[in-house]
Amino acid sequence: MNSTPDRREREELDGLARWLPAGPVERGLPSGRHSHHKDVLMQLIDRDQAARSGRTRSLPKPRGFVRPALIAGAVAVALAAGLTVGIGAGRDAGGSAPVRAGASGAPGGGSRSAVVTLDRIAAVAMRTEVEEVGESQFVYVRTRASENEADWGQPVRPGSLHDREVWFSQKPGPLVEYGLIRENGDDFPIRILVPEGSDGERAGIDRPTYTWLASLPTDPGALLKKLYAQTPVSEGEDRDQAVFSRIGELVREQIMPPATAAAFYQATARIPGVTEVDDAVDAAGRHGIAIAREDTRLGLRTEWIFDPDTLGYLGERSVLTRDSAMGEAGTVFDTRAVLERAVVDKKGQEPGERRRAKRS
């Protein structure tokens, strides 16, 4: 048996070697980059509305931004359902970067290059210092985003690039109102749609808190099993894609213990179809490498973008993967960047206010 690698295998090994550090990776994240955030309850609202109307949808909609929408006859604000989703900023200059396909690094898992990169990201996350969030405090995140103003299936029509601030309560609950969104000069309470007479929802996968995230298994296999069991899947939706999207929601706009963050990235490496993109650009114009997965039913690839030097989380975007009525393959479908993340003591308080209060 010939043990000499053939040309294709040598090219793969050479490609992987370029992403490996020359020595141990000792760099941690810069102090503004302990990013984690979420868009919540898109699927829950869909399910509730479908149950009321008896309607079903042949294709699932992409999981997108947290969007406030006034509910008729109430002051409550929910995340917008329907086919208008968070959409982004046109076609990326130069088109979409190539995806590293590679052979599977684990049975049914991601590509080899994605597995290697996720392992490096997990190692950095494990060494990142994170401020523990108390149950009386709030997680604050400021992001920059561009949202599509067209319905799903129509040509992508980018909205203006704007900043958005959110405050998430850390109380274990049950709660109905658990946060605040400040966007385009307006404040909107974040509320959960619950059955009439309910006290609200306790902390969990649909309303994550630092304490709940800290309670999750840090073994990647056990964590992934739990996520597959708890992630709701719409009719026609790819379960693997649903879990990939849910992990993306949990790491985007939250703060979590280092061991939990590392476990999320290691668990992602075991999801079938996860690949790596050589170059992606977030809503702030920052270039990075990306961990991605394509939803082949929708023709949409979701990319988590990381700083190529520090491996810190930068943001996320989704890109069309085939020509359609929405646009050409490579068109950026939605885009966002995490700009600031902090722990604050009350809803509506910004990090600078908290620092000044502490000094006084």
Q: Which helix (H) or strand (E) holds 173?
A: none
pLDDT over 90 at 4, yes or no:
no
pLDDT band at 223 (very low <50, low <70, confident <90, very high): very high
Cis peptide before 174 (omega within 30 of 0): yes
Please give the distance of CA 309 from its chain centroid, rounded to a whole number. 20
pLDDT over 70 at 177, yes or no:
yes
Which residue's structure tokens are 């490496």?
Answer: 269
Q: How far apart are CA 320 and CA 302, in angstroms?
A: 9
**Averaged pLDDT for residues 235-258:** 95
pLDDT at residue 9 in the model: 55
- Higher-confidence position of 44 and 63: 63
pLDDT at residue 337 in the model: 98
Among the ranges 7-16, 25-34, 90-99, which has the highest mean pLDDT value?
Answer: 7-16
pLDDT band at 63 (very low <50, low <70, confident <90, very high): low
pLDDT at residue 164 in the model: 96
Q: What angle do CA 168, 170, 176 make, to 5 degrees?
A: 70
pLDDT tens readout for residues 114-152: 999 999 999 999 999 999 999 999 999 999 999 888 999
